[in-house]
Chain A
Amino acid sequence: MGEMRYLKAVNQALKDAMRDDSTVFLIGEDIGAAGGSFKATRDLLDIYGPERVYDAPIAEAAITGIAVGAALTNMRPVAEIMFMDFITLSMDMLVNQAAKARSMFGGQGSVPMVLRTPHGGGLNAGPQHSQCLEAWLAHVPGLKVVCPSNPAEAYSLLRAAIDDPDPVIVVENKALYAMKGEVPETPERVEIGKARIARPGEDATVVAYGAAVGLAEAAADVMAAEGVEVEVIDLRSIQPWDEACVLESLSRTHNLVVVHEAVEAFGVGAEIAARMVDIGFDELDGPIIRVGAPFAPSPFGKTLEEAYRPNADRIVTALRRTLA
C-alpha cells in the first residue's frame, strides 16, 4: 500500500474491514460527518453511508453498551472513544458486560466488538485528555488490549482486532498519528498476543509498546554507539502478552528494561517484571528496571509534560543501571 501516515493506516484498515464484512459497522462521537476528532474515520460515512457509520450523541456508556449488544446480535461493531480518558464512562459496559459475557454465559457466543481509543501526551492536552489507562483494561479477564507502534502495525492489529471473536481494545498513541511508514501491499495477518522483535541485540532487552517502541529504538542507537547491542521487543499486544518471546530474549541478553508512557506504578511493566522474576530469575544479571510516567496526573504545561513523559535518555539511564 506504500508509505502512509499511522492515521491513514487506521482509516484504511476500517475501510477494508467494512468492505470485506458487511456486519462491521462504526459508532462514535463525530466519526461520521466530521470524520472523527482526529480524522481516523474520514470519508467512511460517504463510502458506506449512515447505516454503517453512526454519529452517536456524546454518551460513552451507551456507545460502548450498544457495541456489546450489537456484537451479541451477530454484528461486528467498532466503537471509537475519542480520548482514552473517557473510557471511565464506558467501564461498566467493558468490565462487567463485554469482558464477562462469554465466560459468565458458559461459553455461549462471544462479543466480537472493537473499541478504538487514543492515549498519550505530547499535545499539552492536560490531565483529562492524555492518560494511558491500558493497564486497567489488561487487568480484566475477558478483554484483549493491543497498542500498535507504527503504521503497518496499526493496520494489521486493527484488522486482527476486528476479526477477533472477543472484545479487543485498540489503543492508539495520538502522538503517532502523523508518523509515516511503509504498509505492505499484502499486510501481514498478525496474531493477537504475538510480540515482534523490532531490533535484534544480544546485550540487553527493552520491552515496549506503542510510542515507547520508537523511544526504545532511539535509546538502542545511543547504546550501539558505545558498543552495547540492545534488543527491542515491540509487545504489540498487552493482553494477552507474549511471555515466551520476552523470556527467550532475556535468556540471551540477561538484562531487562520495560518501558511505557503510562504511569509506572501498578502498570504493565510491573506485571512483566514480576513474571520474569518468577520464570526467568536464573537468567537475570541485573535488576529489571521500569521506565514510565511518575505517580502524578499527566500535566498540562510544556515543561511539566516534557518532564512527565518517558524519553530515550531515561531508557539509556535504565539500561546503564541494569548493565552496571
Chain B
Amino acid sequence: MAMKLKERADLYRMMLLIRRSEERLQKLFADGMIPGFLHLSIGQEAVPAGVSSALTEDDTVSSNHRGHGHTLAKGVDLNGFFAEILGKATGLCKGRGGSMHVADLAKGMLGANGIVAAGLPITTGSALAHKMQAKGNIAVVYFGDGALAEGVLHECLNIAKLWSLPILFVCENNGWSEFSPTERQLATSLDKLGKAFGITYKEVDGNIVDEVAGAAGKLITGMRKAASPAILECRTTRVRGHFEGDRQDYRDSDELAGLDARDPIRLAGETLREAGLTDEALAEIAADVEAQIEAATEAAVAAPLPEAGDILADVYTRAEV
C-alpha cells in the first residue's frame, strides 16, 4: 500500500525534528549546558520515524542509551524532553534521569536505558501484558547490534516465540558496538537467530524511511491481528561517536566519508521532491521544526534546577513509615 504524500512528509518532519534536536543537544553539550554523557543517533532517524508511524499511543516502546529518536517519535513533549536532558526540574523525569533515561509512561514510552539489552525483557513483559489485556496493543523494543551478544536477547527471543507475544524486535544495526565492529561481537547474525527461533525476520535499509515504515507497518498490522513476535533489522549508520567527545579514530576515513550519501534525511528529501513536494513545503517543515526546538531550548535553559531537598522524593510511591 503506497503512502500518501502527506504521510511521507510527516515522516520527513519527524526525522528532521530528531536531527535538529540532536544537533541542538550537540551544541548545548559542547557549550557545557548538558551534564553527564550524551549519545547521539544522527544518521539513524529513519528507524524510529518509520516504526512509530505504525504505532498508537497505547502501544509501548522501550529504548536504549541512544534513545532520543525513539523517544521523540513516540510523541513525548519536546519541552519536557529538552528540560530533562539539561537536568532541569521541568524535565519529563524532573531532572532525575537525563539523556539515558527519558521516559513518558503516559505516551507508552517505557524509558531509554543505560544497560545494554535491558529493554528487551522489560518490553517482553509489556508485550505479555498487552496479550493478557487483549486490546490489540503491541510492544516495540529498540536495540543496537551491540545488544546481540547479551544473554537476555536470547532469553527473550525464546519466550516471545514460545508464548506468541506481540513484540517487534527492532535492531538498529549501525555496525558498531561502542568502539568495536559488529563482526568481532557476534559469531552468527540476527537473521540466523530469527530462523533458529522461528521468528519472522525482515531486513530493511534503515536509512530509507519509507522502507522502514512500510516493513514495520506490515509486521505490526499482522501482530495486532494475531499476537506473534517479529524481528526488523534496520541497516543504518552511526554518524557521531559512541558518545559526544569520542574522536572515532578507530573508524577509517572511507567509511566516514560515505555516510553523507546515506543520510536518511537527504534521501527522503530527494524522493519527496521527485514525488512532487515543493521546496517551499520542505522549507516550511524545516522552519516549523526550528521554531519548536528554539522554544523548547529557551524554556529548558530558563527552567530551574531540581531542589536538592527533593532527593528522597519518589524513591517509593508512599511516604516512608
Contact = CB atoms under 8 A, between A and B. Distances in A.
Given A67-B125, A106-B92, A142-B316, A193 B321 contact: yes
B132 interface: yes
B239 interface: no
A37 interface: no
B5 interface: no
A103 B110 contact: no
Contacts of B316: 102, 142, 144, 166
Interface in A72-113: 72-75, 77, 92-93, 96-97, 101-110
B133 A74 contact: yes
Given A66-B124, A165-B318, A92 B118 contact: yes
B111 A102 contact: no
A193 B321 CA distance: 6
B38 to A, nearest CB: 17
Interface string B88-132: 000111111100010111100011011100101111111111101
B57 to A, nearest CB: 13
A242 interface: yes
Contact of B152 (A61, A108, A166, A240): A61
B317 A73 contact: no
B307 interface: no
B257 interface: no
Contacts of A193: 320-321
A108 B103 contact: yes
A81 to B, nearest CB: 14
A75 B132 contact: yes
A107 B321 CA distance: 18
Interface in A240-268: 240, 242
A185 interface: no
Contact of A51 (B97, B106, B132, B155): B132
A106 B155 contact: no
A110 B103 CA distance: 12
Nearest to B104: A108
Interface string A178-211: 0000000000000111100000000000000000
Contacts of B139: 69, 73
B129 A102 contact: no
Contacts of B124: 62, 65-66, 69
Interface residues of B, number: 50
Contact of B101 (A52, A105, A109): A105
B125 A103 contact: no
A240 B321 contact: yes
A71 B122 CA distance: 9
Interface stretch (B65-73, B158-166, B203-211, B262-270): B158-166
A104 B96 contact: yes
A105 B321 CA distance: 23
A102 B314 CA distance: 6
A59 B155 contact: yes
Given A105-B97, A105-B105, A66 B111 contact: no
A194 B93 CA distance: 31
A150 interface: no
A45 interface: no
A146 B57 CA distance: 36
A297 interface: no
Contacts of A74: 129, 133
A66 B96 contact: no
A105 B105 CA distance: 9
Contacts of B314: 102-103, 106-107
Contact of B103 (A93, A96, A105): A105
Nearest to B91: A106
Contacts of A70: 125-126, 128-129, 132
A75 B94 CA distance: 25
Residue among A93, A97, A105 with the most chain B CB within 10 A?
Answer: A105
A144 B163 CA distance: 30
Nearest to B134: A51
Given A62-B121, A62-B156, 8 more contacts: A59-B155, A69-B126, A73-B139, A75-B133, A93-B121, A103-B313, A105-B92, A110-B317
Interface of B: 60, 62, 91-97, 101, 103-106, 110-111, 113-115, 118, 120-130, 132-133, 139, 151-152, 155-156, 158-159, 162-163, 313-318, 320-321
11 contacts: A57-B158, A62-B158, A68-B121, A72-B110, A74-B129, A97-B115, A101-B111, A105-B111, A106-B95, A106-B314, A165-B318
